[in-house]
Every structure is written in structure tokens, then in C-alpha cells.
A and B are shown apart, each in its own frame.
Chain A
Amino acid sequence: MSAGPLIAARSIAMRFGSVIALSGVSFDVAPGEVHCLLGDNGAGKSTLIKILSGVHQPSEGELFVDGEQALFQNPRDALDRGIATVFQDLAMIPLMSVARNFFLGREPVRRLGPILMLDGDRAADVTRDEMKKMGITLRDPGQPVGTLSGGERQCVAIARAVYFGARVLILDEPTSALGVTQTAIVLKCIDEVRSRGLGVIFITHNVRHALQVGDRFTVLNRGQTLECRTKGEVTADELQALMSGSVSA
């Protein structure tokens, strides 16, 4: 990688009381790179992304953003530095329109005399354009999110994070509940985000999904980084074996 990492975690440890969730994990992502974080349930993936996104503060270890040491007190701090996380529940409201969801909490307004009005046209235009860039043609930005497919909903959440200035995108199991077609939509969307120079952290326990789009692969097991490999030097079977813990690195 020519550019330095956008975000880097060094020797992160995390303890919840006597439970050790992470012990000495290092992880980073560079611009224009998809770094897959693999691991079985309970391996510590969720804890690591919660540290990267500012939900938890690590017990030990350091975080670096653009090479400078950083401390996230809360998710807002991480977001302000351009670290956006798309959690599994997507924080989207099915009965509301795609455009209203896209701008929820950050609605564009225009002034009509003393009154601030929602700028519905701009919301609809931006939503349509941003989704188009992700390869999804919306029939109507006014249609409820509930009428979109699972993959399309993921892409709305991703497009929203990118539009609002994300430089690093953390995706928490975006394909785990999806079928083959829907997964393809999401992977294409991830590819698009990478081509725009963002760093993507792709959390998954599906080796095939990871290999389809990833540049680097880190396997977590029992709170430790087992292996970091780059594309082409690792096979699905190896990753699978690392994840299940049947091979040591």
C-alpha cells in the first residue's frame, strides 16, 4: 500500500470484568482497500468494531487515525473523524421512504420566509443519484424502505454513510442474512466504495463472501489476531481452517 493506513489499532486488549474479549489485536485499513475481518461467533469481532467505532474504549492498546494517535470517547468522535459503522440492524425505518431514511437526522432544509422547510426535492435527487452510483436504480426515492430487498437496504445504509463523509466504512456482517443475489448486490456496492478510495472493514464469517471482494484478510480467534494474509496468498480452505481454530498460525 502506498498510502498509510486511515485507521490502525495496535495491541488492543479489552476486558469486561474478568472476561477477556480481546488480547493484543492489531488491525488497520488503507485507502482503497477492503480488509476482511473473519472469525467465528465469540471470536471478538463485535468487540473490535465497537472499539474502532467509539462505542467501547479499549482497556489497553492504541488507536491511530491518519497516523496520529486518537481517542474516541463515543461514536460521535469516531464519526467526526470519518469512521462510519453500518450495524446489522441498519438503523433504518421500514415504513419511511428511502429518501427520508437517507437524510434522517440530517435533513436538508430550505428557507421559506421565517420557516425552515424540508427540501424534499433535493433529498429525492441526492438519494436517487447516490443509489445509482452504487448500481441500484430506485423506482422512486419516495418508496418505503420496507419495499426494498435486503441487499438494497444494505446499500442504502452504505450509500448514506459514504455521502455523509465516511472515509472508513465498517460493515458488520452485511451479507450474513442474505441470499446469493442479494449478496452480489452488496459486494458490488462494497467494490464501488473501495474504488472511490475509502477504506472498508468487512466483518463476516463467510469465507467465500470475503474472498470475492477482500484485499486483505485477518482472522480473529479467541480474542487474538491469528493471521493477516493478502489476496492471492490464501485459499478458502486455509481461512476456514483458521477460523475454526483447527490450524495454528
Chain B
Amino acid sequence: MSAPPDNSVDAERPAPKPAVVSSFLQIAKRPELGAVGGLLVVTLFFLFTADPAMFTAAGLMNWMSPAAQLGILAVGAALLMIAGEFDLSIGSMVAFAGFVFGAILIVWQAPLSVAILLTLAFAISIGALNAHIVLKTGLPSFIVTLALLFILRGLSLVGLKWATGGSTQLRGIRESVADSWLLPLFSGDVSGIPVELLWFAAVAAVGAFVLARTRFGNWILASGGDAEAARKSGVPVADVKATLFIVMACCAALVGILTVLDSGSTDARRGFQKEFEAIIAAVIGGCLLTGGFGSVVGAFFGSIIFGMVVIGLTYTRIDLDWYQVFLGAMLLIAVLFNNFVRKRVAGERS
């Protein structure tokens, strides 16, 4: 404090707020701090327990790949959660987009560019459908998108059987696009770095910029923080949410395209339970389930923690089945921590 101490006056004043409040203010401004802390803890854990091969360049790529696939979903999920909505259909959307993409390539023999455009168009219409139902009815997005989770998964199965004549796997995709000029953008690597990592970094960077540095980002925070207050202040809440449902579906379609091109085939179990993992990564990254607060940067680090744990355990002597225990524990710690932060930030004194 700059003012000289003056006991006679200070005695009359209310006691200064304790220092912890200001550190909470710091967290409030940087919701990703929790995820960065978590990443440090997990990294230290594996530095001590895992085979050093995990932290070589090859090892790094090994566990960053699943992190990147999840991360692209987690960025979309984080933005949507901050705006106050969920999308549980994204795991199925990955499979459905993969099926649409594969079927256009194999059944229609269409070029890669057409397949990508049509797959994204499909994703946009599914995202718009989710948004339309949620926003028109006012039903919780949780239940609406849960229905879509089953519908899309079922459609992927039925569609794959139709396209293949009975199988749930569609093969031969890599051969069909081998000479496409677009392929290097979606498959392989750029000077040793897998493209999905570059996509992950790009999606996260754009998402983080939009949330923190644009008007639209302000509207995302406001729509999730208090939709009524946002509406009164002139924020087009429904448009904001609809846009994010569509962005979310496109993120899922992108993951579908990347993974299908990577493996050369598509199957109906692709993206299974990814909706939960994406939400977990977003929550570890500081997003509140109630909306209005969170960070894309946090979701970015949350996804890396995820990939590190999933693959990292294979570098240790620890039984792999501990993975789910580990994950659940991290989610619980993150939720408790976020709840604590929210209460302090929202000025609740319960």
C-alpha cells in the first residue's frame, strides 16, 4: 500500500479485504490457470513414473495425436458451454460425419474437395437442427442433443450397412483420395508435425482469440452468464448460440474427416464417448457447467492433460485400467475447484 499508515483513521475504516480475494480475481481473469496447474502436476507425475521415451519427439507425437483430436472437439465444446449450452451429439457426429464423408468418396466416387464441402454442409445442418430445437422450444440442450446422440449413432450404423452391403466399416478411402491436391491439408505431417496437431493449434488459437478479443466473444460470455440480461443489453443471444452449435458440429466433422483420412477407413464406433471427454477437457480447462465462464486456452490444456494420461499410462508400469479412475478424479477436482472460484467471483458468501 502506498498510503502511510495512520492508525487513528484506519481504526474507523472497515478492515481491508484479505489478500486471497485478489488472487481469486486473478483466477477469474485467467480461468485457464487451473488447467495449467493440472498440466504441471500431470507432467511431473509422468516425468517421475514413465519411461523417458514418453518425452522424446516421437513419444510426444504419440500422445499429442489423441489430445489434438479431442482438443478440436473440446474447443467447440468450451465455447458452447460458456454460452450456456451443451452438445452431447458430437461423439456420434464424428461417426456420422465420417460415414457421410466416406460414403461420398466411395459410393459416389466424388473428389475429396466435394466430399469435404458436403460433409461440412451436413454438419452445419445438424448443428442448425440442434440449435433450432433447443432455441425454439427452450428445452435444455442436454436432453435435445442426447436424443441426437442416439439418432446420429444409429444413422451411422444403418448408413454404413447400406453403403457397404452389410458391414459397419467402410474401407479403401485412402486409395480413393491418394492423388488429391487437398490431401496434404488433412493427412500426413508437415515437417514432422502431424496435421491434426496443426489443426488443433489453429482451432484453439482462433477460438481463444474470438472469445477473449472480439465482440462476439463478449456476447458468448454474456449469453451464458445471463441470457436475459444479455438480451436487454442488445446481444442477439439466439444467434450467438445457434452459431456455436454449428461451429461445434463443424469441429466434430473436422475430427471425423481427419481421423477417417488418417486410418483410411470409417466405422460406426468412431468418436464413441467423445462428447463426455470433450466436456471433461473443457471443465478441466475452467468452464462452468452453468455457463458464462471459462476459457478456450484452458480447454486446450485440458485436452493435452487428457492425451497425456490416456497414452502416458502405457509408458508406466501402472495398470491401464487406472485410466478411468484418474480421469474421474481429475474431473471431480476440477469441478470442485471451479465451483469454489465461481462462488467467490459471483460474490456469493455461502
Contact = CB atoms under 8 A, between A and B. Distances in A.
Interface of A: 87, 89-97, 100, 103-107, 109, 115-118, 120, 139-140, 142-144, 146-148
Interface string B207-229: 00000111101110110011011
B347 A148 contact: yes
Given A96-B225, A104-B222, A144 B214 contact: no
Contact of A118 (B215, B226, B342, B348): B215
Given A100-B218, A146-B347, A92 B229 contact: yes
Given A106-B234, A120-B213, A146-B347, A93 B28 contact: no
Interface in B32-76: none
B293 interface: yes
A142 B29 contact: yes
Contacts of A104: 218, 222, 230, 233-235
Given A105-B233, A116-B215, A93 B29 contact: no
B346 A117 contact: no
B185 interface: no
Shortest Cβ-Cβ A-B pairs, 4 listed = A105-B234, A93-B225, A105-B233, A146-B347
Contact of B229 (A89, A117, A139, A143): A89
A91 B229 contact: yes
11 contacts: A91-B233, A94-B347, A96-B225, A104-B222, A106-B234, A107-B215, A109-B215, A118-B218, A144-B345, A144-B347, A147-B345
A143 B232 CA distance: 22
Interface centre among A87, A90, A97, A104 (most CB of B within 10 A): A104
A154 to B, nearest CB: 14
Contacts of B230: 93, 104-105
B292 interface: yes
Interface string B149-186: 00000000000000000000000000000000000000
B21 interface: yes
A105 B214 CA distance: 12
A118 B25 contact: no
Interface in B286-320: 288, 292-293
A115 B21 CA distance: 36
Contacts of A97: 29
Interface string B308-350: 0000000000000000000000000000000000101111100
Contacts of B346: 94-95, 144, 146
Contact of A143 (B28, B213, B215, B292): B28
Contact of B345 (A90, A92, A94, A109): A94
Given A106-B234, A120-B213, A140-B25, A95 B342 contact: yes
A95 B215 CA distance: 17
A100 to B, nearest CB: 6
Contacts of B21: 147
Contacts of A147: 21, 25, 28, 344-345, 347
Given A93-B225, A95-B293, 17 more contacts: A89-B228, A89-B229, A92-B226, A92-B229, A93-B229, A94-B347, A96-B222, A96-B225, A104-B222, A107-B215, A109-B215, A115-B214, A117-B213, A118-B213, A143-B28, A146-B345, A147-B28
A121 B326 CA distance: 41
Contacts of B29: 97, 142-143
A53 B151 CA distance: 47
B43 to A, nearest CB: 29
Contacts of A143: 25, 28-29
A107 B218 CA distance: 8
Contacts of B215: 107, 109, 116, 118
A182 B213 CA distance: 33
Contacts of B226: 92-94
A25 B21 CA distance: 49
Contact of A93 (B213, B221, B348): B221
Contacts of B235: 104-105
Nearest to B82: A95
B230 to A, nearest CB: 7
Interface string B224-268: 011011101111000000000000000000000000000000000
